[in-house]
Amino acid sequence: MAFNCPSCKARVYDHSALCDNRNDPAKEFGCPNCGTFYFLRTPYSNRYKQHAKNMLFFGAGFVLDQYFDLTSFIPLLIWATLAAFLIYPATHYAGLVKLKPTPYKSPNFHYSSGGIA
């Protein structure tokens, strides 16, 4: 996903962002242009749990449909699943998710020259 850095207005992608410690939410996403670190809405350590919850919801709906033969429930299940999987990316692409800066300053970034050590 791509974000606009509020500090320098640069476009920051997941694969090009600075990361000093993936297990610490304050150190896992930084702008490579200005070195400002931000909190992500869903930290990397919690993304697998969130995807697991979504798949569990989808699997439970499938099992209920097979067990109770809920033919009238199928369209509702399909639309609810699509909405659950599309709301998160749509809010990021629309710019509705605002990044909150962290107080962390990376020792690997030269803030005076604007580059990585």
Does residue 83 sit in the same domain as residue 53?
yes
Alpha carbon of 25 to those of 60, 77, 104, 108: distances in Å?
A: 31, 33, 10, 17
Enclosing domain of residue 116: 1-40+99-117
Residues 10 and 26 in one domain: yes
Per-residue pLDDT of 4-38, as tens digits, reads 888 888 888 888 888 888 888 888 889 888 888 99
pLDDT at position 95 over 60? no
pLDDT at 73: 66
Q: Are residues 55 and 87 in the same domain?
A: yes
Domain identity same for 92 and 104: no
What length does the chain have? 117
The model carries a pTM of: 0.59
Neighbours of 50 (CB within 10 A): 12
| Structural domain count, the chain | 2
Q: Are residues 68 and 103 in the same domain?
A: no
pLDDT band at 114 (very low <50, low <70, confident <90, very high): low
* For residue 92, pLDDT beyond 70: no
Does residue 117 register a pLDDT over 60?
no
Residue with the bigger pLDDT between 46 and 60: it is: 60
Longest dimension (CA), the chain: 65
Same domain, 9 and 20: yes
